A = this chain, B = another copy of it.
Amino acid sequence: MAKKLDFWCSYGSTYTYLTVMRIEDIAAAEGIEVGWKPFHLPPIYKRMGWIGLPFVQFPEKARYMWSDLVRRAKVRGLPYHKPSVYPVDNLLTTKVALVAAAEGWCPEFSRRVFHGNFVDGRVIGEADNLQNDLRSLGKNPGEIIRMAESRETELQLNERTDEAVKLGIFGAPFFVVGEEPFWGDDRLEDAVDWCLTHE
């Protein structure tokens, strides 16, 4: 049985950029299968009684995050231009990612979304961007967005939220190996190591 690492991927999370661009290569090199789990953080924060998005509620943390992120992008060898808009409305993008995950093209979709945000200066959640991303992947934007906006996808997203809360997930990127939780791009190596030694 293939070793498996679940990657809880949020399209509203800046740090998730660092992981999206490297996780498939790292996992493939170790023979690990990545389970892409697109999810939406705001309902989780609400369920946990948090007042708002951490980086909106705590401006000190947001200031720090931008200092740290530019350094971490450099450590990861990734291009970095500070996104002009934060936070972003990523609900529809997340729903499209759920469709993508079901059809097996979530990794390339996610890389395109974050490359757009951190390299091309495009804002996550703007309709044109989403449609262009889908078109460039050879998809029919109208069809995919219709699926993303369906009742079925909404129910799937709600189930994903329930699952996240049950697993104790409160941020992104987040990894789960078996039941072991790992939070943050800087824990990807720990998660891979756990996968190789415990599963």
Q: Which residues of A contact B (CB under 8 A)?
A: 48, 50, 58, 60-61, 63-64, 67-68, 71-72, 75, 168, 170, 180-183, 186-187, 190, 194
C-alpha spacing A67/B64, complex, angstroms: 25
23 contacts between A and B (CB under 8 A): A48-B58, A48-B60, A50-B58, A58-B170, A60-B168, A60-B170, A61-B170, A63-B168, A64-B168, A64-B170, A64-B181, A64-B183, A67-B180, A67-B181, A68-B181, A68-B182, A68-B183, A68-B187, A71-B190, A71-B194, A72-B190, A75-B190, A186-B186
Secondary structure of the A contact surface, majority rule: helix
Q: How many copies does the complex hold?
A: 2
- Please give, as numbers and ranges, the residues of chain B lying within 8 Å of A60 by CB-CB distance: 48, 168, 170
Chain B residues, Cβ within 8 Å of A75? 190
Residues from chain B with Cβ under 8 Å of A187 in the complex:
68
